[in-house]
Amino acid sequence: MIKLPKLILASSSPRRAEILTAVGWEFEKQTADIDETELPGEKPDDYVRRLAREKAEAVAEKNTDALILGADTIVVIENQIVGKPKDLDDARRMLKMLSGHWHEVLTGVALVRITAENLETKVGMQRTRVKFAELARAEIEFLIELGEPLDKAGAYAVQAQAALFIEQIEGDYWNVVGLPVNLVYKLFKNEK
């Protein structure tokens, strides 16, 4: 029998909370307030790793000797980071970009523990490729109206209405939902 340690999830994401709950991982949530601005010349892989680490470290500073999980998910198409849309027009633009194309979903994951002696940090990243079907205008509007696109990277949720339009996934499905929980477990096993 394995024993999963209690985590503090440095996120307000309901999807991350649902995934941890589904696998039986005990946790509490504390939102990290950090600046998520991309640094000049920063690559998408480095960006998601940095944000995951900074989120976890921000929460760890208030929770000595607790195990903190930070994560950040982005969509990348043609080497361009596509974050969360700022409004519905931006969501439409994103869905048009994704229509008929492959894109990547990247999630940076960090486990951080601050003790009196030191700071322990484990950081990883998961990459998954996703292929959208060609979307008609009515299908984009369907996703805009019913898919709650504003709080989702790339303006879609693979586990909801967008599932109708996903033709292929190469890699970790849970990464596309928002938390590659297998990677979290591997980092935890390595952490001891």
Active site residues: 72
Find the largest Cα–Cα distance for the chain. 58
In this structure, the chain runs to a length of 192
The CB density around residue 64, as the number of other CB atoms within 10 Å, is 10
Work out the angle at residue 103's Cα, subtended by the Cα atoms of residues 98 and 104, and round it to the nearest 5 degrees. Answer: 140
Give the separation between CA 37 and CA 1, rounded to whole angstroms.
42
Residues sharing a CB contact under 8 Å with residue 87, sequence separation 6 or more, in sequence order: 150
Reading the block at residue 176, the tokens are 């596309």
